[in-house]
């Protein structure tokens, strides 16, 4: 008898606890799940670290000058070419110099400074084209899904064509052919890479958005909104858009490392960013000539790319699990 009384009381306490727990919004809930995911958290820290490094590589705002890079990434220290990182001293390397922590490349440029400045280009390549892709993809996809008709037909035809190309090959063709033009020369070739990535990737986002809109637009809450007299613009903004956001966010999270990878592949092949601007891909390309002499000019940027790409993937995985707990893949 006594035990039942206790459990009954416990149950009531538990009930009260449930009621008094602070309510979280859907997004708050997702954020909580994301932070609980250890791999994603590590990824976020790595990305934050890379971002801080990129921003403070050489920042001069409001009279405050912060500079993380010890040297100018383009400055050539003629006599100090191909220095090895200082820790190789412990393994008997004679070509080290405490002035260059990570050593130098063929032309005597400081590896550490070049790595730091490279993170700038990589992060820009990660975010800018993806933002363009998102803007175009969302607009076209929502129009195609909600309005249908000509926009829809157009989207489907374009998709068929773009899907027939291998992604990377298409980017390579675009970038390779436009390289000689004014567009290809703008900002050391940055602009043409933006264009290449955007042209190839917006279709995927548009198609995803279209599919999502199609599945949402006939649901009851949209009908209800229409019934109380909301216009198409308002329905799209307030009712459809928030409900299709989750898969779009996940796609974007994976598109960012994809774009960075594309840049590094292009630069590695010698048709990406123009030297002497340092990027990890360019560094690998340039260092490859002396690879069998000293591997460090190649190994260091390879490490950086791998770690940053892994970080983004972990965050992407975490986001997917957090936003859609059902699809655990």
| Beta partners for residue 96, in sequence order | 84
* Cβ neighbour number for residue 162 with a 10 Å cutoff: 17
Residue 271 engages another protein in binding (rule: CB under 8 A) = yes
**Between 245 and 265, whose beta carbon lies closer to another protein?**
265
**Between 11 and 177, whose beta carbon lies closer to another protein?**
177
Tell which one of 168, 214, 230, 249 touches another protein (CB under 8 A). 168
C-alpha to C-alpha distance for 273 and 128, rounded to whole angstroms: 15
Q: For residue 37, give both structure tokens.
A: 């995911």
**Between 152 and 317, whose beta carbon lies closer to another protein?**
317
Segment contacting another protein (CB under 8 A): 50-58, 60-68, 244-252, 313-321? 313-321
Residue for token pair 């190789």: 88
C-alpha to C-alpha distance for 258 and 126, rounded to whole angstroms: 8
Find the helix or strand (DSSP H, E) in which 66 lies.
Answer: strand 64-66
C-alpha to C-alpha distance for 323 and 67, rounded to whole angstroms: 38
Residue 54 engages another protein in binding (rule: CB under 8 A) = no
Residue 108 has phi, psi (to 5 degrees) of 75, 25
Least separation in angstroms between CB 62 and another protein: 39
CA 121 → CA 54, 104, 115, 322, distances in Å?
8, 20, 10, 29
Residue 122 engages another protein in binding (rule: CB under 8 A) = no
Number of shown-chain residues binding another protein (CB under 8 A): 40
Tell which one of 78, 92, 98, 180 touches another protein (CB under 8 A). 180
Q: DSSP letter for 292, please.
A: T
**Between 141 and 318, whose beta carbon lies closer to another protein?**
318
Tell which one of 16, 26, 99, 161 touches another protein (CB under 8 A). 161
Q: Is the Cα dihedral 257, 258, 259, 264 positive or negative?
A: positive
**Between 232 and 325, whose beta carbon lies closer to another protein?**
325
Tell which one of 47, 200, 244, 309 touches another protein (CB under 8 A). 309
C-alpha to C-alpha distance for 301 and 284, rounded to whole angstroms: 7
Residue 270 engages another protein in binding (rule: CB under 8 A) = yes
Residue 265 engages another protein in binding (rule: CB under 8 A) = yes
Tell which one of 26, 99, 147, 269 touches another protein (CB under 8 A). 269
Residue 247 engages another protein in binding (rule: CB under 8 A) = no
Q: Which long-range contacts (CB under 8 A, 24 or more apart) does 217-226 make?
A: 217/145, 217/146
Residue 166 engages another protein in binding (rule: CB under 8 A) = yes
Residue 96 has phi, psi (to 5 degrees) of -120, 160
Binding site for another protein (CB under 8 A): 160-161, 164-166, 168-169, 172-174, 176-181, 257, 261, 264-265, 268-271, 284, 291-292, 295, 298-299, 302, 305-306, 309-310, 313-314, 317, 328-329
């Amino acid at each position: 008898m006594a035990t039942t009384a206790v459990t009954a009381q416990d149950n009531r306490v538990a009930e009260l606890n449930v009621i008094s727990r602070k309510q979280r919004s859907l997004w708050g809930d997702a954020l909580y799940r994301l932070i609980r995911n250890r791999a994603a958290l590590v990824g976020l820290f790595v990305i934050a670290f890379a971002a801080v490094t990129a921003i403070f590589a050489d920042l001069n705002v409001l009279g405050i000058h912060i500079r993380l890079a010890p040297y100018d990434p383009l400055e050539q220290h003629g006599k100090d070419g191909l220095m090895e990182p200082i820790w190789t001293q412990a393994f008997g390397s004679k070509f080290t110099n405490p002035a260059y922590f990570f050593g130098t490349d063929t032309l005597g440029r400081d590896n550490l400074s070049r790595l730091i400045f490279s993170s700038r280009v990589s992060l820009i390549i990660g975010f800018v084209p993806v933002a363009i892709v998102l803007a175009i993809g969302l607009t076209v996809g929502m129009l195609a899904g909600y309005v249908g008709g000509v926009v829809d037909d157009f989207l489907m035809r374009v998709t068929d064509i773009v899907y027939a190309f291998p992604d990377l090959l298409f980017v390579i063709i675009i970038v390779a052919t436009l390289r000689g033009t004014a567009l290809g020369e703008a900002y050391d070739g940055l602009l043409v890479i933006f264009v290449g990535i955007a042209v190839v990737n917006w279709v995927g986002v548009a198609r995803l958005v279209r599919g999502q809109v199609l599945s949402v637009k006939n649901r009851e809450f949209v009908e209800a909104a229409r019934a109380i007299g909301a216009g198409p613009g308002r329905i799209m903004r307030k009712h459809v858009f928030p409900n299709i956001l989750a898969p779009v966010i996940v796609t974007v999270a994976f598109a960012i490392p994809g774009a960075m990878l594309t840049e590094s592949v292009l630069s590695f092949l010698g048709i990406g960013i123009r030297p002497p601007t340092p990027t990890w891909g360019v560094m690998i390309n340039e260092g490859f000539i002396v690879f069998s002499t000293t591997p460090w000019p190649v190994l260091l940027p390879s490490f950086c790319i791998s770690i940053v790409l892994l970080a983004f993937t972990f965050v992407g995985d975490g986001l997917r699990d957090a936003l859609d707990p059902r699809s655990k893949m």
